[in-house]
Structure 1
C-alpha cells in the first residue's frame, strides 16, 4: 500500500472516530435530556457546561482539520489553501476542578476527546501530512516502477 493510501486510511479512520465521539459528546452534554440535570447543584451544571463547550470545540477543531485533509487528498484544496485554512488551533485543556464535579463516564468521554486531539495534533505537526510533496514523490516512484516493469 502506498504512503498516500495509508494517509487516506488514517484520515478516514480518525474522521469516523471523531464523528462518533462528537455524537457521544452531544448526548452527554445536552442538559435537556440529562436525568440528573435538575438535581445537580449550580456549580456542577456550570462545570458540565464549560467542559461540554471545551470538548465539543476540541472535537469540532479535529473534524475541521480532518475535513480539510480529506479535501486536500481528494484534490479539492490546493496546498496553499490547506496551509491557509488547514491549521489545528491550540487545545483548551480541561479544568481539574470541573472534572472533579463530573461523573466518571463524562470524564472518560472528555479524556477520549483529548487523546483523539493529541493523535490528530501529531499528524498536524508531521511535515509530510500537509504537503503535496508526498503525492509528487509517490507519483514519480510509480512512474519509475512502471518504466522498469515495461522494459
Structure 2
C-alpha cells in the first residue's frame, strides 16, 4: 500500500525561487522599521503623552524583537534554500528563533495616540510573523518552547503591564 503524504505547500515555497519575495518583504520591513524608529518615529514619540510614550517604547522593543526573530528565520531558510545549510542544520538552529512576540492590545491606554506610521509597522510585522509561524509549523511541525510550554504564548495582560512599568521606570 502506497503512503500518501500531503503536499506541504509552505515547504515548497520556502525551498524554491518563490521564497525570494517573502524574504525581500521581510528584510524590507526590517529596514523600514529601523529607518522609521531612528528618524520620524523618534521625533513623533517626543510629542506623545507620558502614557503613550511608555507604550510606544515598550511596543517599539516588541516590534524590533519580532522583526529580528523573523529575519533570523528568513536567513535560515535562505541558507537552506541556497545549500549553505542542510534542512537538519536549519531545524537545529531554528529552535533558537521565537515566532511568538505578542503586541500590546489595541485597547491599551495610549494606543490611540500612537503614530499611524508606527501602528502600520506593528500590524505588518504581526501579519508577517503569523505567516512565518504558520509556514514554520507546516514545514517543521509544532515543537514546544520548553517543558510544558505551548509553541505560541498568547498575550498576557499582567505581563504586558509589567513590561510597560519596567519601561516607564527604565528597568529593562
Taking structure 2 as the reference length, the TM-score comes to 0.63
Counterparts in 2 of 1:102 and 1:37: CA distance versus 1, 3 Å: closer
User: 1:41 maps to which residue?
Assistant: 49
CA apart distance, 1:45 = 2.0
1:52 aligns with 2:60: yes
Equivalent residue in structure 1 for 2:119, among 74, 88, 107: 107
Residue 37 to residue 102, structure 1, CA distance change in 2 (3 Å): closer
Q: Does 2:72 correspond to 1:64? A: yes
Q: Distance in 1 between matches of 2:49 and 2:125?
A: 25
**Counterpart Cα distance in 1 of 2:45 and 2:127:** 27
Asked if 1:116 corresponds to 2:122, the answer is no
Maintained 8 Å contact 1:44/1:101: yes
Residue 26 (structure 1) shift: 1.4
Q: Is the 8 A contact 2:73 2:94 kept in 1?
A: yes
Q: Give the root-mean-square deviation of aligned CA atoms.
A: 2.6
Cα deviation, residue 21, structure 1: 0.9
Give the number of equivalent residue pairs.
Answer: 127
Where does the alignment leave 5 or more consecutive residues of structure 1 unmatched? Answer: 130-151
Unaligned runs of 5+ in 2: 1-8, 142-172
Distance in 1, matches of 2:31 and 2:77, equals 21
Rg larger for: 1
